[in-house]
């Protein structure tokens, strides 16, 4: 059994109330930090912990904080990215739904470290029911004096608000999130300038994922050095993994970094094996954007040692034989799943979610979707496979934000590792038209 830092009390029925949260040790960090530590000392602890951004990019959270521009008189802002929209990812939702005060406590500590007096939690609009949970919790925190003026008599002030998006994957990209919070379309900005210098309303701004901010609480309580002892190498601490697909126990698991992938899939403590006793075909370990790995590459690194749930081990071998830990959106495919269909599905997703600013992404995602749709529905040609490869190659790296890459990688990996399935679709169109596809919708666009 691994150590639980974020989900330790998640099953306690009263953990969502402030009294329950305090009873289980919550908000103890406030006095420690607000009365006993300087903002830079807090940042230093987070740096020491080795915490890396849990939204998917994996950049050092503490280091990111040091980039905030302190040379200006403008107000600084902390934005919590709760836009969780990467297919396969549903971990932040559990934290906010069940244990909202952990995020609020983390927001207070992080805001203090950054010198922010106003902070926002930007939550995807579909999570409106969670927004209401957070707003209730924030009200409770104000009533206890943990938010507002002179928190706990420390002289530090912080106002915290929750703000809903309205259905746009792109707003999980930090500059699109900022645009959206300014009441605009979620079009990512060109960087530099980075938000740490010019973000919300051109003020210095830090954007952090829910899980990263929540992790600041245990880091402060146990000390950064102690936190860094958990895990392996540069993958420190615990990580929330949301497991879905054809497994016996889908759900959210907190793991100590370094659990072997094979154990994570087959242990009853986690996924509990493949549903229906089937064999595993493939896995997307870090959300839909990261390369899909076939069974043959999933459990072992290229040197034969077990592949582990860490940033380094999952990406070992680069995109030729590896993938990424990403957001921890762990999707498992059994032997009966059609990789072409899944790739088409993801391509449709990225086409739908492209903001449309950059032509390679706007045109390329739609083009890939159409070609994949043709192949999947038995109208593909052999040269389409090379065409797909060519399109994805020309999107990658040629867009303002990483959505282009995110759309290209799943297509590239599917062709790299499952080319035979694409060839099969092209060669035997009549078979794929009938077999295994119970429901054959015509290409759909949302008309509502």
The encoded tokens of residue 419 equal 């080319």
> Which alpha helices (H) appear in 237-277, and where do they start and end?
261-266
- Placement of tokens 């065409």 in the chain: 387
Cβ 351 to other proteins shortest distance, Å? 10
Terminal C-alpha separation, the chain: 47
Cβ 50 to other proteins shortest distance, Å? 27
Cβ 418 to other proteins shortest distance, Å? 15
User: What x-and-dash track marks residues 351-390 binding other proteins by CB under 8 A?
Assistant: -xx-x-----------------------------------
**Sheet (strand 251-256) strand order:** 251-256, 238-245, 329-334, 280-284, 293-294
DSSP state of 165: -
User: What x-and-dash track marks residues 403-422 binding other proteins by CB under 8 A?
Assistant: --------------------
- Is residue 90 part of the contact set for other proteins (CB under 8 A)? yes
- Is residue 73 part of the contact set for other proteins (CB under 8 A)? no
The C-alpha atoms of residue 206 and residue 43 are separated, in whole angstroms, by 13
Helix (H) or strand (E) holding 251: strand 251-256
Cβ 172 to other proteins shortest distance, Å? 11
Cβ 158 to other proteins shortest distance, Å? 14
- Is residue 186 part of the contact set for other proteins (CB under 8 A)? yes
Residues 6+ apart with CB under 8 A from 316: 301, 302, 307, 322
Which of 41, 128, 139, 296 touches other proteins (CB under 8 A)? Answer: 128
The encoded tokens of residue 275 equal 């549903």
- Is residue 169 part of the contact set for other proteins (CB under 8 A)? yes
Contact region with other proteins (CB under 8 A), list: 43-51, 79-87, 145-153, 369-377: 79-87
Contact between 258 and 308 (Cβ < 8 Å): yes
Which of 26, 100, 165, 294 touches other proteins (CB under 8 A)? Answer: 165
How many Cβ atoms from other residues are within 10 Å of residue 161's Cβ?
12
- Is residue 251 part of the contact set for other proteins (CB under 8 A)? yes
How many Cβ atoms from other residues are within 10 Å of residue 4's Cβ?
15
Nearest to 351 by CA among 370, 376, 325: 370
Cis peptide bond upstream of 193, omega within 30: yes
Contact region with other proteins (CB under 8 A), list: 27-35, 238-246, 305-313, 372-380: 238-246
Nearer to other proteins, 1 or 448 (CB): 448
Bridge partner list, 238: 256
Which of 17, 60, 267, 345 touches other proteins (CB under 8 A)? Answer: 345
Q: Write the burial class of residue 311 (CB in 10 Å: 0-12 exposed, 13-18 middle, 19+ buried).
A: buried
Contact region with other proteins (CB under 8 A), list: 48-56, 128-136, 138-146, 149-157: 128-136
Nearer to other proteins, 160 or 230 (CB): 160
Q: Does residue 391 come out as left (phi exceeding 0), alpha (psi in the -120 to 50 range) or beta? A: alpha
Hey, which residues between 299 and 328 contact other proteins (CB under 8 A)? Answer: none
- Is residue 166 part of the contact set for other proteins (CB under 8 A)? yes
Hey, which residues between 9 and 68 contact other proteins (CB under 8 A)? Answer: none
Bridge partner list, 282: 294, 333
Nearest to 375 by CA among 329, 424, 336: 424
Contact region with other proteins (CB under 8 A), list: 33-41, 259-267, 300-308, 340-348: 340-348
Contact region with other proteins (CB under 8 A), list: 162-170, 255-263, 298-306, 413-421: 162-170
Nearer to other proteins, 45 or 86 (CB): 86
Contact region with other proteins (CB under 8 A), list: 11-19, 362-370, 420-428, 440-448: 440-448
- Is residue 250 part of the contact set for other proteins (CB under 8 A)? yes
Helix (H) or strand (E) holding 298: helix 295-298
Which of 216, 243, 298, 388 touches other proteins (CB under 8 A)? Answer: 243
The encoded tokens of residue 399 equal 């867009």
- Is residue 444 part of the contact set for other proteins (CB under 8 A)? yes
Nearer to other proteins, 307 or 341 (CB): 341
Nearest to 308 by CA among 247, 249, 256: 256
The C-alpha atoms of residue 391 and residue 408 are separated, in whole angstroms, by 8
Which of 116, 181, 206, 401 touches other proteins (CB under 8 A)? Answer: 181
DSSP-derived pairing of the beta strands 231-232 and 235-236: antiparallel
Query: Where do contacts with other proteins occur on this chain (CB under 8 A)?
Result: 84-90, 93, 120, 124-129, 132, 161, 163-169, 180-186, 201, 242-246, 250-252, 284, 288, 329, 331, 333, 337, 341-342, 345-346, 349, 352-353, 355, 438-439, 441, 444, 446-448
């Amino acid at each position: 059994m691994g150590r639980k830092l974020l989900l330790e009390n998640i099953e306690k029925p009263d953990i969502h109330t402030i009294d329950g949260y305090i009873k289980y040790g919550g908000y103890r960090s406030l006095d420690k930090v607000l009365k006993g530590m300087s903002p830079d000392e807090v940042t230093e602890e987070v740096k020491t912990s080795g915490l890396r951004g849990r939204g998917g990019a994996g950049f050092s959270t503490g280091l990111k904080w040091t980039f905030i521009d302190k040379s200006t008189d403008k107000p600084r802002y902390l934005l919590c990215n709760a836009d969780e929209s990467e297919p396969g990812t549903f971990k932040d939702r559990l934290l906010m739904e069940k244990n909202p005060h952990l995020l609020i406590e983390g927001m207070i500590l992080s805001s203090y470290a950054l010198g922010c007096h106003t902070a926002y939690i930007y939550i995807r609009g579909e999570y409106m029911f969670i927004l209401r949970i957070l707003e209730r919790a924030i009200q409770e925190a104000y009533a206890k004096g943990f938010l507002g003026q002179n928190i706990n008599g420390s002289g530090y002030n912080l106002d915290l608000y929750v703000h809903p998006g309205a259905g746009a994957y792109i707003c999980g990209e930090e500059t699109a999130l900022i645009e959206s919070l300014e009441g605009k379309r979620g079009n990512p900005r060109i960087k530099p300038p980075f938000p740490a210098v010019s973000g919300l309303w051109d003020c210095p701004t830090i954007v952090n994922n829910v899980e990263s901010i929540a992790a600041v609480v245990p880091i402060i309580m146990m000390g950064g050095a102690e936190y860094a002892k958990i895990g392996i190498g540069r993958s420190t601490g615990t990580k929330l993994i949301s497991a879905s697909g054809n497994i016996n126990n889908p759900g959210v698991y907190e793991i100590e970094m370094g659990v072997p992938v094979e154990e994570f899939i087959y242990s009853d403590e986690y996924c509990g094996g493949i549903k229906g006793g089937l064999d595993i075909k493939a896995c997307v370990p870090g959300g839909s954007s990261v390369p899909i790995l076939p069974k043959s590459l999933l459990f072992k690194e290229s040197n034969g040692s077990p592949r582990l749930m860490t940033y380094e081990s999952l990406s070992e071998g680069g995109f030729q034989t590896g993938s990424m830990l990403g957001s921890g959106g762990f999707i498992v495919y059994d032997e009966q799943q059609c990789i072409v269909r899944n790739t088409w599905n993801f391509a449709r997703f990225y086409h739908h979610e492209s903001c449309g600013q950059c032509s390679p992404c706007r045109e390329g995602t739609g083009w890939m979707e159409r070609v994949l749709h043709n192949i999947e529905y038995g109208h593909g040609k052999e040269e389409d496979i090379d065409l797909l490869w060519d399109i994805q190659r020309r999107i990658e790296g040629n867009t303002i934000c990483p959505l282009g890459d995110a759309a290209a990688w799943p297509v590239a990996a599917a062709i790299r590792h499952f080319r035979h399935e694409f060839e099969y679709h092209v060669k035997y169109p009549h078979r794929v038209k009938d077999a295994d596809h119970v429901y054959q919708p015509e290409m759909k666009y949302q008309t509502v």
